[in-house]
């Protein structure tokens, strides 16, 4: 029986690895997301029943669960060198001469390989019998940081190299080197989130990606949507208790004769390699490639700042060797950053959906890094004051990492200079409310989170979301239509909608309109803690909302509390307390509360059934939920625990009654097993509750 299960597990892992490779490496998925999810759920279910058969190469083990205490420094088996740089044709020709292009070495029929230089973080991956066992940063070239847990979250890096079909078998010990990068689309989305939260923006994808790889929590790395391109492989040996490379030449030649063949071999083994590469017969071919990609690189979803040129023959590479810092057989042509001057026509204020106000320079159109630039963010008012940019000034602009237009500084004052620097607004440009800067933030915010029109879309989307009032059938598309039609401006307006108003909207028939209105009406009975989440009070999430709702019991009591009373609640700190009191002192909040009461919303912790006591089956028991459950969110599972008298806990101890574990349960599952704490699947947990009630 166990052998049959093990075989089934191996088949599922193999299928998922193939589909993972096709999706993340080839970008050619052969099944739908739903079909992939179904296979994944089958694997999760089998592993939950047989945790003793879980292996490190399983797709369920990509994301760890516990932040690491620190990153260990580990010696590299082979030193990682930095590349030397060239900046023009003369310097490139001089490098080629030193590398044997003068006839002193036989470079073969195809002497060079040119590859787009990806702007990322260099990594070294160690595989033993095809399994990923360690990943290191470049570090100082001799020693790197152990980032294994984080690298395992990057889907384009195989956890296991398929052993067949391969003309060249995977060595017992194999080191693969490459670059971890953050796609430009992911970088822009990350910075947008940072800006909306009033947090510091990342300068470029490389910094954001490198920071993600070096996070102590692998889940933070996984959330950054990183990618990886590999370009080098070495056969290693296990000698005297350490993994090392006794002979670089023999190691390389055992895998391939040329760098081009090495790239092809890596692709055969399932690694993602740089698609922008060319085998060049002459230095003139290299220069043509450099010229072509000076423009074309701007069309890609990955940041690049140059072209890497390598001698193709690995035997010649070995003969050339290294300087103290760089390989003699490779160099990097660096594209110079394009900087142009243009005139500031105006400085406008951009208001984000979470109330962050950003100054934006409106420019005379200028061609920059492949596109026409007319707007450039000045990021925040501290940055604007530092650069002292004024309307009419001629400024220097470039694209940060050749992606985001930015103003470097003033080149020349305008012919009619403004006498005073630009002053940060004291009133919101959208609603006229006072602006506010929270301690520890550089962002300036609108102080009116409830009725500011620039924030209404996000505010309403949050109000109806699953973790807030959970209004089924009312999503972002419908909210957008309702705002455009002038039917809603504030959350209270949702409860004044009629079936007729909804039925006239695009893709909304009579039945759909009735269902939406019924869902809105039902949301009136949700308990207080969900209403608090819906209000979007700064620093108040689901857990804090529960802590606030329990002792006060109704919204009126909470709205009239003090900071001192709030801090006295176990789990509520000064930051949350200050935010809650500030929120309820806003006139807009008072108006909303009055409206909600008139409209018939439940303003107490009773009702809605979310915390209605269903039984005392778990009374006094401390229970931990970990991992991703098949059907329940963690919040839903913890709500069930509370409804049956139990107490959700965040860590496993000897006092833990049992653990409910799902996919990627990580160290909490391991600790539970070590302590002998019972571990239940979601299905067993639900069955247990059913039998006890």
- Axis crossing angle, helix 205-213 with helix 184-196, rounded to the nearest 10: 80
What does the alpha-carbon distance between residue 365 and residue 395 come to, in Å, rounded to a whole number?
Answer: 12
Query: Residue 249: its pLDDT value, please?
Result: 45
Q: What is the pLDDT of residue 273?
A: 94
Distances (CA, A) of 271 to 55, 170, 229, 259: 21, 12, 7, 15
Summarize pLDDT for 156-200 with one digit per residue, the tens: 899 988 655 556 788 888 999 999 999 988 888 887 777 665 566
* CB contact at 8 A, 159 and 131: yes
Domains and CATH numbers, the chain: 2-61 (1.10.287.610), 84-334 (3.30.470.30), 340-412 (2.40.50.140), 453-523 (1.10.150.20), 528-599 (1.10.150.20), 622-692 (3.40.50.10190)
Residues across the chain: 693
Q: Are strands 340-351 and 131-137 parallel, antiparallel or unpaired?
A: unpaired
Does residue 647 carry a catalytic annotation?
no
Q: Which of 143, 234, 221, 224 is nearest to 185 (CA)?
A: 224
Dihedral pair phi/psi, residue 136, rounded to 5°: -125, 150
Reported as type and span, the H/E element at residue 593 is helix 587-599
From the list 222, 219, 227, the residue with the least C-alpha distance to 68 is: 219
- Strand bridging mode 394-400 / 340-351: antiparallel
Non-local CB neighbours of 333 within 8 Å, separated by 6+ positions: 85, 86, 87, 92, 117, 290, 306, 307, 308, 309
Beta strands in 383-531 (DSSP E): 394-400, 404-412, 435-436, 444-446
Residue 70, phi then psi, degrees to nearest 5: 175, 170
Residue 69's pLDDT is 46
pLDDT for the residue numbered 77: 84
Q: Which residues, including other chains, have CB under 8 Å from residue 280's CB and lie 6 or more apart?
A: 110, 111, 112, 113, 114, 286, 289
Task: Return the ∠ at Cα 214 (arms to 244 and 14), rounded to 5°.
Answer: 65
Q: Which of 359, 395, 397 is nearest to 379 (CA)?
A: 359
Tokens 């039945």 found at: 511
600, with CB counted inside 10 A (0-12, 13-18, 19+), is exposed
Element (H, E) at 386: helix 381-387
pLDDT at 65 (0 to 100): 39
Q: Between 89-96 and 283-296, two packed helices, what is the crossing angle to 10 degrees?
A: 140
What is the end-to-end Cα distance of the chain in Å, rounded? 34
The answer to whether 112 and 279 have CB atoms below 8 angstroms apart is: yes
Catalytic residue selected from 117, 310, 399, 671: 117
- Widest CA span in the chain: 90
**In whole angstroms, how large is the CA radius of gyration of the chain?**
30
pLDDT computed for residue 491 by the predictor: 92
Q: Do residues 55 and 145 make contact, with C-beta atoms less than 8 angstroms apart?
A: no
Give pLDDT, residue 501.
Answer: 92
Backbone angles phi, psi at 182, to 5 degrees: -105, 120
Hey, what are 560's tokens? Answer: 């009239």
CA distance 627 to 184: 30
The residues pairing with 332 across neighbouring beta strands, listed in sequence order, are 85, 308
Residues of the chain with pLDDT under 50: 64-69, 240-241, 246, 248-251, 253, 608-610
Phi, psi of 265 (to 5 degrees): -65, -40
292 Cβ contact list (under 8 Å, min separation 6): none
């Amino acid at each position: 029986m166990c052998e049959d299960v093990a075989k089934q597990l191996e088949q599922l892992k193999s299928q998922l690895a193939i589909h993972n490779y096709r999706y993340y490496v080839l970008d050619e998925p052969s099944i739908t997301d739903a079909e992939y999810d179904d296979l994944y759920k089958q694997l999760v279910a089998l592993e939950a029943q047989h945790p003793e058969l879980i292996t490190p190469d399983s797709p369920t083990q990509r994301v760890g669960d516990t932040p690491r205490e620190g990153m260990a420094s580990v010696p590299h088996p082979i030193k990682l060198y930095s590349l030397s740089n060239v900046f023009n044709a003369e310097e490139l020709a001089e490098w080629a001469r030193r590398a044997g292009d003068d006839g002193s070495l036989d470079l073969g029929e195809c002497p060079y390989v040119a590859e787009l230089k990806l702007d990322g973080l260099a990594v070294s991956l160690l595989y033993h019998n095809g399994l990923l066992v360690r990943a290191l940063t470049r570090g100082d070239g001799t020693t790197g940081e152990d980032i294994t847990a984080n690298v395992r979250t990057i889907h384009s890096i195989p956890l296991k190299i398929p052993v067949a079909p391969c003309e060249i078998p995977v060595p017992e010990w194999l080191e693969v080197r490459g670059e971890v990068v953050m796609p430009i689309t992911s970088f822009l989305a990350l910075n947008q989130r940072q800006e909306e939260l009033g947090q510091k923006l990342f300068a470029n994808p490389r910094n954001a990606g490198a920071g993600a790889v070096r996070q102590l929590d692998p889940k933070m790395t996984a959330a950054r949507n990183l990618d990886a391109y590999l370009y080098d492989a070495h056969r290693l040996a296990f000698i005297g208790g350490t993994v090392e490379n006794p002979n670089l030449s023999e190691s390389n030649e055992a895998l391939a004769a040329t760098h081009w063949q090495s790239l092809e071999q890596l692709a055969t083994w399932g690694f993602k390699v740089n698609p922008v590469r060319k085998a060049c017969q002459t230095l003139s071919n290299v220069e043509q490639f450099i010229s072509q990609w000076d423009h074309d690189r701007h069309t890609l979803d990955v940041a690049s700042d140059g072209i890497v040129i390598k001698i193709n023959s690995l035997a010649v590479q070995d003969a050339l060797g290294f300087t103290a810092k760089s390989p003699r057989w490779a160099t990097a042509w660096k594209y110079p950053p394009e900087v142009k001057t243009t005139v500031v026509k105006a400085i406008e204020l951009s208001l984000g959906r979470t109330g962050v106000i950003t100054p934006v320079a409106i420019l005379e159109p200028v061609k920059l890094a492949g596109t026409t630039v007319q707007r450039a963010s000045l990021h925040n008012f501290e940055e604007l004051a530092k650069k002292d940019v004024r309307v009419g000034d001629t400024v220097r602009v470039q694209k940060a990492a050749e992606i985001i237009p930015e103003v470097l500084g003033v080149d020349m004052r305008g012919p009619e200079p403004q006498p005073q620097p630009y002053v940060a607004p004291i009133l919101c440009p959208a609603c006229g409310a006072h602006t506010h800067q929270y301690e520890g933030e550089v962002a300036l915010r609108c102080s009116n989170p409830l009725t500011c029109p620039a924030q209404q879309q996000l505010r309403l989307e949050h109000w109806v979301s699953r973790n807030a009032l959970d209004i089924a059938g009312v999503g972002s598309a419908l909210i957008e239509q309702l705002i455009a039609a002038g039917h809603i401006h504030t959350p209270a307006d949702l409860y004044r909608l009629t079936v007729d108003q909804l039925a006239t909207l695009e893709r909304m028939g009579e039945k759909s309109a009735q269902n939406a209105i019924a869902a809105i009406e039902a949301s009136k009975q949700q308990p207080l803690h969900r209403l608090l989440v819906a209000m979007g009070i700064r620093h108040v999430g689901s857990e804090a909302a529960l802590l606030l709702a329990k002792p006060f019991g109704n919204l009126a009591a909470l709205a009239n509390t003090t900071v001192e009373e709030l801090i006295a609640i176990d789990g509520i700190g000064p930051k949350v307390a200050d935010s809650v009191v500030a929120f309820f002192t806003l006139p807009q909040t008072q108006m909303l509360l009055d409206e909600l009461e008139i409209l018939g919303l439940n303003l107490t912790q009773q009702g809605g059934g979310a915390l209605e006591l269903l039984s005392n089956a778990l009374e006094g028991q401390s229970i931990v939920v970990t991992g991703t459950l098949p059907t329940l969110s963690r919040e839903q599972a913890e709500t069930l625990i509370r409804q049956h008298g139990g107490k959700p806990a965040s860590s496993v101890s000897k006092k833990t009654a049992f653990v409910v574990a799902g996919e990627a349960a990580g160290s909490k599952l391991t600790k539970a097993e070590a302590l002998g704490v019972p571990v239940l699947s979601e299905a067993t947990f639900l069955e247990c509750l059913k039998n006890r009630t």
